[in-house]
Amino acid sequence: MAPSSAPKPPLPDKEQLQANILRLPLEHRSPDREPHSYERWLINKLMRMAGSPPIRFQLWNGDVIEPDSVEPRFTLYLTDPKALYSLVANPNLAFGDLYAAGRLEIDGDLPELMESLYRAIHSARQKWPRWLDALWRNHNPRPTGISEAKENIHHHYDLGNDFYRLWLDQAEMQYTCAYYEQADNTLEQAQLAKLEHVCRKLRLKPGMTVAEAGCGWGGLARYMARNYGVTVHAYNISREQVRYARAEAERQGLEHLVTYVEDDYRNIRGQFDAFVSVGMLEHVGKDHYPALSALISNCLKPGGLALLHSIGRNRPMLMNAWIEKRIFPGAYPPSISEFLQICEYGDFSVLDVENLRLHYAQTLTHWLDNFTASQSQITDLYDELFTRAWRLYLAGSIAAFRTGSLQLFQVVFTHGDNNQLPQSRQDLYTFPATPEGI
């Protein structure tokens, strides 16, 4: 333990943690037996391999293991020895599973703990021996062909509109990164500003036609129709989302401008003045980038602009195993050069790339706040395991964007021979994108 005069956080009340955990349907209960000396050794080793994050462990019997070189800021509580073994064997997967099951409890701010962990691991992993890298590696995402994509998307996006309504923005149910023009914007403001920012980047004009791939609950399509007078064909394979999107377009009297098609993006047909996809590329899979590129090339008119908005990376890296397995099956956020190869395949010209990384950290912070406020309702809809898993997913994502493990890229591109280009990007910034009075 490092010598320091800074006050340490108090140890969590074991009874209280146990009470929280005991509400869960646990397979394993704390055996209350003494930890073996090699179990203590294993924890020390684990922490050193993870780059010595400022975490102390409290074990099933109440024993505390302090970190050996930093002042602890968080306490991680393990309910049973088996939890320890699965954490050591496969931390990427086990951390999330154990937390969801309540076999791993945390005292301290969850996003901050995850941020500390990510930072420590990021610098430590450079020095990992090869065997450890192999043991702890993430796996290739599952396939994303037409039939698999349906299952992947169903797993996540068909969880029920009532669920998402509890913690997404009230304005247009956007489940993608918002755009905080000012740091103190609300989630609602920032989500509408995102829609506006995207429309401006596409230089939409009344009467234009737009193809949208992966439209979520249809908010962008309605915004474009409502505010820019364009006709939109919006594709989505999530039945729940399409149902909501259609009802909402009808309620807003926009059915004559917006058509929601319950179909795979690969089946988009026709030619459009603009092509847009916000938050779908993560699910496309690298193998399908050439096909996506060919699709956009076919359906974008000669003078048209295309925009892809997606989570990405600074360098190629597989998705965290737990996220890919439990939350986003098939997900792969591309590195920026992998992303732009989509443009290269189709002989497109990249006009504009903007990185909104910290905007996603802020969006997720707002989501987690809403989520936490609705926690008991969510547990009623599903169960405690689900709520804990999603809380961790949101907190972990905040940490991933804060530490730069994930990025958010908006890329605007056009056919390589299109010379009808905007003179500059000045027109994006003439007026605030944030709506007044909400």
Interacting residue ranges for its own copies, rule: CB under 8 A: 119, 122, 179-183, 314-316, 335-338, 340-341, 343-344, 347-355, 357-358, 402-404, 407, 409, 416-419, 421, 423-426, 428-430
- Looking at beta carbons only, is 62 or 316 nearer to its own copies? 316
CB of 184 vs its own copies, minimal distance in Å: 10
Strand partners, 414: 305, 349
Q: Which amino acid is residue 319, in one-letter code?
A: M
- Looking at beta carbons only, is 32 or 417 nearer to its own copies? 417
CB of 294 vs its own copies, minimal distance in Å: 14
- Looking at beta carbons only, is 179 or 322 nearer to its own copies? 179
CB of 258 vs its own copies, minimal distance in Å: 28
Please return the burial class of 244, using the count of CB atoms within 10 Å of its CB with bins 0-12, 13-18 and 19+: buried
Beta strand ranges found along 241-299 (DSSP E): 258-262, 272-278
Q: For the CA atoms of the chain, what is the radius of gyration?
A: 23
b/e map 381-392, b = 16+ CB within 10 Å: eeebbbbbbbbb
Give the C-alpha distances (Å, rounded to integers) separating 271 from 232, 278, 297.
12, 19, 10
- Looking at beta carbons only, is 5 or 423 nearer to its own copies? 423
Length of the chain: 438
CB of 357 vs its own copies, minimal distance in Å: 7
Cα separation, 54 vs 398, whole angstroms? 18
The continuous run of DSSP H or E covering 41 comes out as helix 37-49
- Looking at beta carbons only, is 83 or 292 nearer to its own copies? 292
- Looking at beta carbons only, is 192 or 225 nearer to its own copies? 192
Tokens of 313: 């990376």
Give the C-alpha distances (Å, rounded to integers) separating 347 from 9, 57, 204, 329, 342.
57, 54, 23, 30, 9
- Looking at beta carbons only, is 119 or 165 nearer to its own copies? 119
- Looking at beta carbons only, is 143 or 404 nearer to its own copies? 404
CB of 330 vs its own copies, minimal distance in Å: 23
Contact criterion met (CB below 8 Å) for 65 and 40: yes
Q: Which amino acid is residue 222, in one-letter code?
A: R
CB of 405 vs its own copies, minimal distance in Å: 9
Which residue is it, tokens 């309910």? 79
Q: Tell how many helices (H) and how many strands (E) occur in the chain.
A: 17, 11
- Looking at beta carbons only, is 180 or 272 nearer to its own copies? 180
145 phi, psi to nearest 5 deg: -65, 175
- Looking at beta carbons only, is 259 or 341 nearer to its own copies? 341
b/e map 251-264, b = 16+ CB within 10 Å: eeebeebbebbeeb
The CB density around residue 423, as the number of other CB atoms within 10 Å, is 6
Question: CA-based angle 405:411:416, to the nearest 5?
Answer: 140
CB of 432 vs its own copies, minimal distance in Å: 8
CB of 264 vs its own copies, minimal distance in Å: 26
CB of 128 vs its own copies, minimal distance in Å: 16
Cα separation, 148 vs 164, whole angstroms? 23
- Looking at beta carbons only, is 326 or 415 nearer to its own copies? 415
CB within 8 Å of 398: residues ≥ 6 apart: 111, 114, 115, 361, 364, 365, 368
CB of 308 vs its own copies, minimal distance in Å: 13
CB of 191 vs its own copies, minimal distance in Å: 15
